[in-house]
Structure 1
Amino acid sequence: MAKRQGEAIVTTNRPDGVKPRRVLVLGATGTIGRATVRALVSRGHEVVCLVRRPADAAIPAGAAESSRVSQGAIERIVELTDPLSLARDGVRGESFDVLVSCLASRTGLPDDAWAIDYCAQVSALHASQAAGVTHVVLLSAICVQKPMLAFQHAKLAFEEVLIASGLEYTIVRPTAFFKSLSGQIDRLKRGKPFLVFGDGTLTSCKPISDDDLGRYLADCLDDDARRNRVLPIGGPGEAITPKAQGERLFALLGREPRFTHVPVMLLDVIVIVLATIGRWVPAVAAKAELARIGRYYATESMLVLNPATGRYDTHATPSTGSETLFDHYARVIRGEAVAERGDHAVF
Structure 2
Amino acid sequence: MTIDETSGSEWRSTTHAPWPVHGPLMGEEVHYPKRVLLLGATGTIGMATARSLVQRGHQVVCLLRPRRSDQHLQANASPPESLAGVKVMWGDASDPEVWTQPSFTGAGFDAVVSCMASRTGSPQDAWRVDHQAHVWALQAAQTAGVRHFVQLSAICVQKPLLAFQHAKLAFEKTLIESGMTYSIVRPTAFFKSLSGQLERVKKGKPFLIFGDGQLTACKPISDDDLADFLVGCLDDVSRHNQILPIGGPGPAITPLAQGEHLFALLGMPPRFKRVPVGLMDAIVGVLSVLGKIIPAAADKAELARIGRYYATESMLVWDAQAQRYDEQATPSHGSQTLLDAYARWVKGEGAPDRGEHAVF
Fold-level similarity (TM above 0.5):
yes
Cα separation, 2, equivalents of 1:340 and 1:158: 27
Shift of 1:59: 5.2
Structure 1 gap ranges (5+): none
Report whether the alignment pairs 1:284 with 2:293.
no
C-alpha displacement of 1:260:
0.2
- 1:60 Cα shift? 8.0
- Aligned residue identity for 1:270: I
1:180 matches 2:202? no
Q: Structure 1 residues 54-63 or 173-182, which shifts more?
A: 54-63
Counterparts of residues 148-227 of structure 1 (less than 5 Å)? 148-227=161-240
The 3 A distance-change label for structure 1 pair 283 and 237 is: same
Distance in 2 (alpha carbons) for counterparts of 1:15 and 1:220: 19
SS of alignment partner, residue 230 of structure 1: strand
Is the CA contact 1:79–1:86 (under 8 Å) kept in the aligned structure 2?
A: no
| Residues 239-258 of structure 1 aligned to structure 2 (within 5 Å) | 239-258=252-271
Runs of 4+ more than 6 Å apart: 60-63
Q: 1:144 touches 1:155 (CA, 8 Å); kept in 2?
A: yes
Percent pairwise identity: 60
The whole-number CA distance in structure 2 between the counterparts of 1:236 and 1:40 is 22
Give the 3-state SS of the residue equivalent to 1:66 in structure 2.
coil
1:313 aligns with 2:334: no
The 8 Å contact of residues 22 and 46 in structure 1, kept in 2 or not, is answered as yes
> Cα RMSD over matched residues?
2.0
Cα deviation, 1:112-140, whole Å, max 9, x if unaligned, reads 00000000001111122222211111000
Q: Determine if the alignment matches structure 1 residue 36 to structure 2 residue 49.
A: yes
Q: Say which of 158, 161, 165 aligns to 1:145.
A: 158
Task: Assess if the C-alpha contact under 8 Å between 1:109 and 1:286 holds in 2.
Answer: yes
2:65 counterpart (32, 35, 52): 52
1:89 CA displacement: 7.3
The alpha carbon displacement at 1:309 in A equals 1.4
Q: Structure 1's 90 and 254: CA in aligned 2 closer, same or farther, altered over 3 A?
A: farther
- Residue 86 (structure 1) aligns with: 99
* 1:328 paired residue among 341, 352, 355: 341
8 Å CA contact 1:174–1:234 kept in 2: the answer is yes
* Distance in 1 (alpha carbons) for counterparts of 2:48 and 2:106: 27
Corresponding residue pairs, total: 340
Between 83-92 and 180-189, report the one with greater CA deviation: 83-92
Letter in 2 for 1:36: T
1:55 shift after superposition: 5.1
Scaled by the length of structure 2, the TM-score of the pair is 0.90
**TM-score under structure 1 length normalisation:** 0.93
Question: 2:318, 2:326 within 8 Å by CA — same for their partners in 1?
Answer: yes
Cα distance, 1:85 vs. partner?
A: 1.7
**8 Å contact kept, 1:69–1:75:** no
